[in-house]
């Protein structure tokens, strides 16, 4: 009788293990989160104009030289408005250059939006066709990338940047990259 009981437990154990694996794989994770293919890849080449100075041509070399935060935003994106105060605070207090990609947007609307809500960006890349977005594997806005001094993408955050995201993730990573550029490898 006891051996029968034990063998009855085997399916139960398998079932529990399966539930645990599936819960870890599908249930608990945000299904919208796609791992970026571009981590540790150089920022893709581009040649696009600047939002407030359309005669200025921006390329990937404009990102090099120091660790920067690159934020993908648009006027049609409600979460961009939600994260905006935090971006303003970062640009004011944290001393890391904040660069914008105005993604799939109308440039004149975007200029007005920055006047109305204030402009935290050192410059804005006009990606009105979403082509740079595709190169970056962007599938919505906002998204925020950390690009190191050599122009290599080191981190990607999907969704609005909050004070907590800054303190727990973006801030420490930027600090690490600034003090030890080769840290965080892999």
Partner 1 sequence: MLTKVHRIVILFALALCQAPAWAAIDAYPFPKDEMRQQYNSLIAELRCPQCLNTNIAGSDAMIAKDLRREVHRMVLEGQSDDDIRAFMLARYGDFILYKPQLRAGTLVLWFGPGIFFIIALVVIFGMLRRRKTNVTALSDQDQERLKQLLSK
Question: Quick check: 135 binds partner 1 (CB under 8 A)?
Answer: yes
Question: Quick check: 130 binds partner 1 (CB under 8 A)?
Answer: yes
Question: Quick check: 139 binds partner 1 (CB under 8 A)?
Answer: yes
Question: Quick check: 6 binds partner 1 (CB under 8 A)?
Answer: no
Q: Which is nearer to partner 1, 97 or 130 (CB)?
A: 130
Q: Which of 136, 147, 152, 177 binds partner 1 (CB under 8 A)?
A: 136
By CB under 8 A, the residues from 148 to 167 that bind partner 1 are: none
Question: Quick check: 34 binds partner 1 (CB under 8 A)?
Answer: yes
* Stretch of 31-39, 55-63, 109-117, 143-151 lying at the interface with partner 1 (CB under 8 A): 31-39
Binding residue count for partner 1, defined by CB under 8 A: 20
Q: Which is nearer to partner 1, 14 or 115 (CB)?
A: 14
DSSP structure class, residue 64: T
By CB under 8 A, the residues from 96 to 115 that bind partner 1 are: 104
Other beta carbons within 10 angstroms of residue 186's beta carbon come to 4
Question: Quick check: 129 binds partner 1 (CB under 8 A)?
Answer: yes
Q: How far is the CB of 104 from partner 1 (least distance, A)?
A: 6
48 bridge partner residues: 58
Q: How far is CA 91 from the centre of its chain?
A: 16
* Stretch of 32-40, 48-56, 115-123, 170-178 lying at the interface with partner 1 (CB under 8 A): 32-40
Give dist(CA 77, CA 100) in Å, integer: 14
Residue 179's Cβ-count burial label (10 Å; 0-12, 13-18, 19+) is exposed
Q: Which of 6, 32, 164, 185 binds partner 1 (CB under 8 A)?
A: 32
Which residues of the shown chain bind partner 1 in the complex (CB under 8 A)?
Answer: 11, 31-32, 34-38, 104, 129-131, 133-140
């Amino acid at each position: 009788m006891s051996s029968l009981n034990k063998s009855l437990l085997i399916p139960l154990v398998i079932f529990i293990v399966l539930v645990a694996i599936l819960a870890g794989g599908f249930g608990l994770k945000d299904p919208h989160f796609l791992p970026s293919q571009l981590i540790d890849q150089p920022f893709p080449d581009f040649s696009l104009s600047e939002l407030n100075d359309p005669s200025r041509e921006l390329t990937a070399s404009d990102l090099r030289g120091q660790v920067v935060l690159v934020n993908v935003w648009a006027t049609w994106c409600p979460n961009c408005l939600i994260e905006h105060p935090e971006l303003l605070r970062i640009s004011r207090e944290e001393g890391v250059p904040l660069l914008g990609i105005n993604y799939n947007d109308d440039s004149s609307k975007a200029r007005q939006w920055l006047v109305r809500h204030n402009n935290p960006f050192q410059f804005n890349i006009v990606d009105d066709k979403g082509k740079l977005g595709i190169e970056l594997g962007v599938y919505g806005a906002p998204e925020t990338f950390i690009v190191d001094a050599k122009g290599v993408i080191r981190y990607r955050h999907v969704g609005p940047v909050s004070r907590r995201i800054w303190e727990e993730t973006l801030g420490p990573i930027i600090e690490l990259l600034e003090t030890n550029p080769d840290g965080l490898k892999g």
